[in-house]
Structure 1
Amino acid sequence: MVLPVGRSFYVTTDYGRVKGFRYAADNGRPDAPVVVVQGGISGTGQLWRLDGSGWWQSLYDAFAETEDLQVISFDYLGGLGGSTTPEQPLTVEQHALAYLQALEKLGVDRIHGWVGGSFGGVLGLQAASLKQGPPIDRLTVIGAAHKPSIQSSLLRSFQQLLLQNCDCEQQGVVLARALAMLSYRNADEFERRFEHPDDALEYLLAQGERLLQRHGKQANKLFTHLTPILNDYHIDVRQITCPVQLVSFSSDTIAPPALVSELEALLPDCDSYVSIETPFGHDGFIKNVADYQTSLSQYLPQLAETHV
């Protein structure tokens, strides 16, 4: 059983010192097959925790019963975890190279699976296209595409404008995060969940305040080192030779289904495409794990052996 507790480690790369976490069975082999799991820009390598408060806790059940496997996840350089913050923001390609280099230094010579949600999915596509570092046998991309949608780029641009025009940096972070949360969800969900716009506004601002309270000045890095780079990337996915599984969400405005379908057409080997109806928008990659867990378990051989 893969334990919901990760052992932390640090690796120095050409791009900065990376903090990561390794999840394995208590008697797991150090050379057991490796699956990399990466989440969104606000995520950390602490995917799962005993108290259920891990960043991507809902994904744990997909891996829990697997014996001969180790899951590795990294804090993002310039993100909210323990990795260092480069003086200048890295590109998407540099991020992918940093984590591939970290895996090499850990002695990983093959990535049996890469499961990426949101930014983690973008990085998976980039890593698989580079032909550098450990090869990736199978890639699952959840709520992500090979380039940004126009609407998501506009929303991120408005976040930058908020930060630049707020007299108080902390207030800028709160408003930028609130706008981000608005873009992650769907209009139908807001109608269903809130009786009045003021209630919805209070919820969004509370999410911004929560980010600030948890991470202090570090929260600003999301909008200086990670968010902007997602406005300027384009991955040549025709270079990807491994099989790819795509998961999209009907109400996602960050990685809309039309853009994911475009990605599907460009990929040399799109093994499966799972489309999910959900009111949760982009957050479907966290909220709707139960709807794609079976497909994911069947797609990754290391999980399929356990879920026959």
Structure 2
Amino acid sequence: MTFHAESRPAASDLPACAAFMPACSEPGPRCGETLVTFEPRHARGARAVRVRWSLHGPAGGALVIVQGGISADRHVTDGDAVGGWWSAVAGDGGAIDTRRQRVLSIDWLVAADLGPDALAVGSEDQADAIAGLLDALGERRASAYVGASYGAMVGLAFAARHPQRLGRLVAIAGAHRAHPLSVAIRNIQREVVRFARAHGDTARGLDLARRLAMTTYRGEREFAERCDAAPAFVDGRYRFAEEGWLRAAGARFAQRFSAERFLALSESIDLHAVAPRDVRVPTTLIGFSSDRVVPLADLCELQLGLGAAAALHVIDTRYGHDGFLKEPAQVGALLREALLEH
């Protein structure tokens, strides 16, 4: 597959769908925007796509691509003033140690980034964009790709499409396809956002969609422990302990996410499909005992079908799918082992 790439420094005039994203600061990681040309899965013909990226770590250090869920951005570590969404795992002295490893991450593309005729954005598109970015940065190969949630899905697509560019894949809470029950729940979330947008209250739709998502991201044990207070009768109705927690999560999400971005990336999860046999890169899979978004049965199926050696580790946690964020010590220990082995 051939890519054309053109780099330039980070710009302040980002597309509207990405306007909420923070810019890089100096001193800190290298940041930029790069034009990469590839043919998206859900559009006709090749087109130049602008990829926003961050690279943090010492020159010459082993290159590790790190990608998170759909709400994660390119700021993985605390290497700049923005702060990082996974700073408990990646950073100086972390499991992904930026004193000796370089961390490369991108902002997720959405369908609008691919052109007005693009019907959707696929996990394959994200993978091809990362491969093109490697070319632009003069990187022949990444030592490892570490992906969590949607990032794990993209990692599987990257390993299947560009195996020669990757030494090891670590896929956390992400499988070769979306589970049908999770697809059904995300479909309801998208319908809520579309309905609210049609009625002039997009923020309310994003708020409610996130509240619904939180009921799947976290495990039963956490809900039982966090929400054991008795209901209180307030303003003419009973208020339950769960409401305050979910309301706060929904409000935070609605403040920083656009409807267009949510709809595109939520749909991209459900369109994701990789044949396990096509993944011929040594792989470490990490799952969570209480994950209801990506059941362990799906990870077992993936492990058995992979076209390369694969280890599956299961972390017992009350935090469900969000275990990759809430269990940094356990996840970090497995990451250290996987990266040191490689």
TM-score, normalised on structure 1?
A: 0.86
Tell me the alpha carbon deviations over residues 255-299 of structure 1, each in whole angstroms, 9 at most, x when there is no partner. Answer: 110110000000122332111111100000111121132222122
Structure 2 match to 1:70: 102
CA deviation after TM superposition for structure 1 residue 84, in Å: 4.7
CA deviation after TM superposition for structure 1 residue 212, in Å: 2.1
The question of 1:38 aligning with 2:70 is answered: no
Match runs of 1:1-308 below 5 Å: 5-14=28-37, 16-24=49-57, 28-29=58-59, 31-49=60-78, 53-60=83-90, 61-64=94-97, 66-67=99-100, 69-78=101-110, 84=113, 86-87=115-116, 88=118, 89-131=120-162, 135-166=165-196, 167=199, 168-196=201-229, 198-213=240-255, 215=256, 218-301=257-340
Whether the 8 Å CA contact 2:192–2:205 is kept in 1: the answer is: yes
Distance of 2:329 and 2:248 partners within structure 1 = 27
Distance of 2:263 and 2:115 partners within structure 1 = 11
Q: 1:65–1:102: structure 2 CA closer, same or farther, 3 Å change rule?
A: closer
Larger Cα Rg: Structure 1 or Structure 2?
2
Gaps of 5+ in 2: 1-26, 38-47, 232-239
Between Structure 1 and Structure 2, the one with more strand by share is: 2
Structure possessing the higher relative contact order (Cα contacts under 8 Å, 6 or more residues apart) = 1
Secondary structure at 1:296 match in 2: helix
Distance of 1:204 and 1:270 partners within structure 2 = 40
CA deviation after TM superposition for structure 1 residue 180, in Å: 1.4
CA deviation after TM superposition for structure 1 residue 86, in Å: 4.8
Q: After alignment, is 220-229 or 170-179 more displaced?
A: 220-229
Whether the 8 Å CA contact 2:134–2:141 is kept in 1: the answer is: no
CA deviation after TM superposition for structure 1 residue 160, in Å: 1.4
> Identity over aligned residues, as a percent?
29
CA deviation after TM superposition for structure 1 residue 65, in Å: 6.5
Distance of 1:246 and 1:101 partners within structure 2 = 25
Gaps of 5+ in 1: none
Distance of 2:188 and 2:157 partners within structure 1 = 26
Secondary structure at 1:45 match in 2: coil
Q: After alignment, is 279-288 or 176-185 more displaced?
A: 176-185
- Aligned-residue RMSD, C-alpha: 2.3
Secondary structure at 2:32 match in 1: strand
Secondary structure at 2:311 match in 1: strand
Between Structure 1 and Structure 2, the one with more helix by share is: 1
Secondary structure at 2:142 match in 1: coil
CA deviation after TM superposition for structure 1 residue 222, in Å: 3.4
Distance of 2:130 and 2:77 partners within structure 1 = 20
TM-score, normalised on structure 2?
A: 0.78
Tell me the alpha carbon deviations over residues 194-216 of structure 1, each in whole angstroms, 9 at most, x when there is no partner. Answer: 22472222211211211222x2x
How many residues are aligned here?
Answer: 288
Any runs of at least 4 consecutive aligned residues in structure 1 with deviations exceeding 6 A, and if so which? Answer: none
Tell me the alpha carbon deviations over residues 4-52 of structure 1, each in whole angstroms, 9 at most, x when there is no partner. Answer: 942211111235211111110xxx22x4321100000000010122679
